[in-house]
Amino acid sequence: MVLINPLLPLFFLSCFFWVNHAASTERSTYIIHIDKSFMPKAFPSCHHWYSNTLDSIKSTSSDKHYPQPKLIHTYDNAFHGFSAMLSNEELKALKNSPGFLSAHEDGPITPDTTHTYKFLSLNTAKGIWPASEYGKDVIIGVVDSGIWPESPSFKDEGMTEIPKKWKGICQVGQDFNSSLCNKKIIGARFFNQGVVAGNPDVTISMNSTRDTSGHGTHVASIAAGNYVEGASFFGYASGTARGMAPRARLAIYKVLWDEGSQESDPILFAGIDQAVADGVDVLSISLSYRTIDLYENPIAIAAFGAMEKGILVSVSAGNRGPNFGTLLEGIPWAVIVASGTVDRWFSGILTLGTGLTITGWTMFPARATVRNLPLIYNETLSACNSTESLAEAPDGSIIICVNSFETPEFSDQMGYVSESNARAAIFISEDTSILRSTSFPFPGVVITPKEAQNVIKYASNSSQPTASITFQHTILGPEPRPAPAVSASSSRGPARSYPGILKPDIMAPGVLILAAYNPEVSAAYIGSNNIALSSDYNLVSGTSMACPHISGIGALLKSAHPDWSPAAIRSAMMTTANPLDNTQKPIKDMGMDYDIATPLDMGAGQVDPNRALDPGLVYDVTAQDYVNFICALNYTREQTQSIIRSRYNCSNPSTDLNYPAFVALYDPLEERSTLTRRFERTVTNVGDGAAMYKVKVKKPKNSSVTVSPEKLMFQKKNEKQKFYVMIRYKTYREYVINHGSITWVEERGKHTVRSPIVVTPAEPS
């Protein structure tokens, strides 16, 4: 047998040690990508290869004070390799070893934190819910902070027997036994070896899949929570809660820990890798990682391995908005999800002594008694900028506070008022970010400056002005703002990893979403003493909440169309997405003072599940197509193989991926006035039979768009047709974004297949 490089055994000796505290300061955890083709045939698995090598070289260690080496993780599903604690010298030695592809240092990951089914037009009479049997037997893997299994959202009432294809387990751990799994939660695993390896003295406070933060529980119930009547957040948003795919299964992979989270544990090397092996159909990843390059991004690498197995991967866009180019997770083979508002508002009713009523915004979590109290307004008190300034507020009064650039932030004003003698407050503000917060510890309402005119006039001119406020109201509709609108916090494209493919792909509800939560975690506060309140259901905002909406809808599409690839499912959602809000005007951007949103903010638009069920045409992409794309990115051989491994050839490199969107880039620093970009696309007819489509173009400003041919004729289902797009566009010295669309309209049919066009600078200024 031919032995491997003698440097490799020496490396393996050092890399698998559980180092003591003193040594840990000299080492870091590294993620190592290995070319599996170098494994000697004598070993039945990678694990045996690493372990056997480790056993054979123990005596070669130059430092006898270290404990015997111990593996952190090996991986053989989503990618090939392992994680280990290494010094710089050991890492250098490894780079000369056969099979080595790349290594990068481990780093932290972060989470991106009822009515939405109606907002998305899901109903029991027709459409995707009955067509998919509500996602029956599709398995959604949720890689997050675990789950609170006792939540009513995870009962298995109405669920059938667990699918025979399932290979996972219900891992027993602290406060989590196997009986907590059922026909809804069919699998539960937890991964924290990397956290322990990075900090050997750490004590894991909840060493099991049980969720201690509430984030994973919230995400899982949005994707596939069962039906729960009477759910609410302290009386707000009351009704029957349910997930997007209420009959889908859940497999939980806990990777976020109170003690810290390292990517070697969760994201790639354990959580996703195990989920792929267990047999999930959809992966929901509401997490972000700081690495931009695809070949070092664990989510990107793991998602590629999942895609190869036919698994749809849904990833949150991140919460770094609203600035241009803040999206890091620009993964071409995953669905990247932006966050939008819904048409549901939480209010308090302000009634003046004159009888005038105003609907304001509030999230005060109780039925406070605020009736016919004195209404106080004067310029000294209205700034509400300190405890001292509010000392003159009369006992039992309602004080009026003006929130502006010259006054403290809303949260600070709330704190000052809470410590005053006032009984309640009226806050005057135009800050739309307030509408995304559930923090409202003092009785009061927020109204606009326009609404405040009558209030101030009454309070200033009446001899004994009074007012009342009632709480816990929920209203539906386009007021005070049309919906959906892109959330200000949602990360914007173009993706820093590769700006030439549109990211995010699509938008889903992500602002104040009601879903299950950990009842032992504080969900709201009351009073100046910050009395903590808990709730079985919480209203939370972020792309973390948008992502599981797409995961659940993806599960519905997977159930209805089991033969569709992940790319076909993504295409169906993108080409049927709605770019208009509930006033039938273009979707707006909260983060840009409600200007019209661009595809870099929302992707193709708001997801429309029922239309996605029958899209007419899809833009499909194979694993080899993605390989050709990666091979065109000027990566090194090792960087390329870190993603695609060794099973593919770079036979036809091309960045012109068969994507349902068109991105034309320019560099503001170049002197050119116009550029031309040519695209080639292939669409597959997934309609019932023969069909004819004619193109409709909405060109971006200062651009010309030519599509050839202008008509596509299909004789049968699953037939493919090719077309070409030529975009000639103006470049700018400034950072200007122009956008339009290409839509294939079925003649004498019901299908419209829309793809956004965006002309954009390639990188942030």
Q: Which of 254, 237, 290 is nearest to 108 (CA)?
A: 290
Helix ranges (H only) for 483-584 are: 543-560, 566-575
Which residue bears the tokens 């020496």? 10
- Comparing 260-264, 272-276, 373-377, 755-759, which segment has the lowest mean pLDDT? 260-264
Q: What is the mean pLDDT of residues 707-713?
A: 98
Taking residue 196's Cβ as centre, other Cβ atoms within 10 Å add up to 20
Is the per-residue pLDDT at 561 higher than 90? yes
Question: What local confidence, expressed as pLDDT, does residue 23 receive?
Answer: 38
Q: Interior CA angle at 620 toward 616 and 626, to 5°?
A: 165
- Comparing 145-154, 275-284, 476-485, 560-569, which segment has the lowest mean pLDDT? 476-485
Instruction: Check residues 110 and 622 and name the one with the higher pLDDT.
Output: 622
Instruction: Check residues 66 and 141 and name the one with the higher pLDDT.
Output: 141
Instruction: Check residues 567 and 645 and name the one with the higher pLDDT.
Output: 567
Q: Whole-model pTM?
A: 0.86
Question: What local confidence, expressed as pLDDT, does residue 16 receive?
Answer: 30
| Percent of the chain at pLDDT exceeding 70 | 88
> How far apart, in Å, do the first and last CA atoms of the chain sit?
56
Which helix (H) or strand (E) element contains residue 335? strand 335-340
pLDDT digits over 456-470, tens only?
Answer: 999 999 999 999 999
Q: What is the mean pLDDT of residues 410-417?
A: 91
Q: How far is CA 626 from CA 308, 651, 652, 657, in A?
A: 10, 12, 11, 7
- Contact between 572 and 506 under an 8 Å Cβ cutoff? The reply is no
3 state DSSP class of 558: helix
Is the per-residue pLDDT at 213 higher than 80? yes
Is the per-residue pLDDT at 446 higher than 90? yes
Is the per-residue pLDDT at 18 higher than 50? no
Question: What local confidence, expressed as pLDDT, does residue 765 receive?
Answer: 62
User: What is the pLDDT of the chain when averaged over all its residues?
Assistant: 88
Question: What local confidence, expressed as pLDDT, does residue 203 receive?
Answer: 84
DSSP for 564-622, please give it. Answer: --HHHHHHHHHHT-B-B-TTSSBPEEGGGTTEEP-HHHHTT-B--HHHHTS-SEE----
Q: Hey, what long-range contacts does 177-180 have (CB within 8 A, 24 or more apart)?
A: 180/149, 180/150
Q: Which of 98, 174, 184, 93 is nearest to 136 (CA)?
A: 184
Beta strands 738-746 and 711-714, pairing class:
unpaired
pLDDT digits over 73-124, tens only?
Answer: 677 666 677 777 677 777 777 777 777 777 766 655 545 447 899 899 999 9
Question: What local confidence, expressed as pLDDT, does residue 192 receive?
Answer: 86
Instruction: Check residues 504 and 672 and name the one with the higher pLDDT.
Output: 504
Amino acid at 631: C
Q: What are phi and psi of 533, to 5 degrees?
A: -120, 145
- CA 204, distance to chain mean position in Å, is 26
The pair of three-digit structure tokens given for residue 221, joined into one six-digit string: 């119930």
Which helix (H) or strand (E) element contains residue 299? helix 298-308
For residues 500-521, one letter each, b for 16 or more C-beta atoms within 10 angstroms of the residue's C-beta and e for the rest, the string is: bbbbbbbbbbbbbbbbbbbbeb
Instruction: Check residues 263 and 188 and name the one with the higher pLDDT.
Output: 188
The pair of three-digit structure tokens given for residue 65, joined into one six-digit string: 């004070």
Q: What is the mean pLDDT of residues 400-413?
A: 87
- Contact between 71 and 46 under an 8 Å Cβ cutoff? The reply is no
Number of residues assigned to the chain: 765
Q: Could you tell me which residues come within 8 angstroms of residue 22 by beta carbon, excluding any fewer than 6 positions away?
A: none
User: Catalytic site residues?
Assistant: 144, 215, 544
Question: What local confidence, expressed as pLDDT, does residue 63 receive?
Answer: 47
Beta strands 466-476 and 344-352, pairing class:
antiparallel
- Comparing 68-82, 124-138, 503-517, which segment has the lowest mean pLDDT? 68-82
Rounded distance between C-alpha atoms, residue 184 and residue 182, angstroms: 5
Instruction: Check residues 215 and 3 and name the one with the higher pLDDT.
Output: 215
- Contact between 382 and 426 under an 8 Å Cβ cutoff? The reply is no
The pair of three-digit structure tokens given for residue 127, joined into one six-digit string: 């459409």
- Comparing 116-120, 536-540, 560-564, which segment has the lowest mean pLDDT? 116-120
Q: What is the mean pLDDT of residues 576-596?
A: 95
Question: What local confidence, expressed as pLDDT, does residue 478 receive?
Answer: 75
Is the per-residue pLDDT at 499 higher than 70? yes
pLDDT band at 645 (very low <50, low <70, confident <90, very high): confident
- Contact between 241 and 514 under an 8 Å Cβ cutoff? The reply is yes
Rounded distance between C-alpha atoms, residue 210 and residue 217, angstroms: 9
Backbone angle region of 476, left / alpha / beta, with phi > 0 → left and psi within -120 to 50 → alpha:
beta
Rounded distance between C-alpha atoms, residue 559 and residue 163, angstroms: 13
Instruction: Check residues 335 and 380 and name the one with the higher pLDDT.
Output: 335
Question: What local confidence, expressed as pLDDT, does residue 78 receive?
Answer: 62
pLDDT digits over 320-376, tens only?
Answer: 999 999 998 899 999 999 999 999 989 999 999 999 999 999 999 999 999 999 999
- Contact between 574 and 506 under an 8 Å Cβ cutoff? The reply is yes
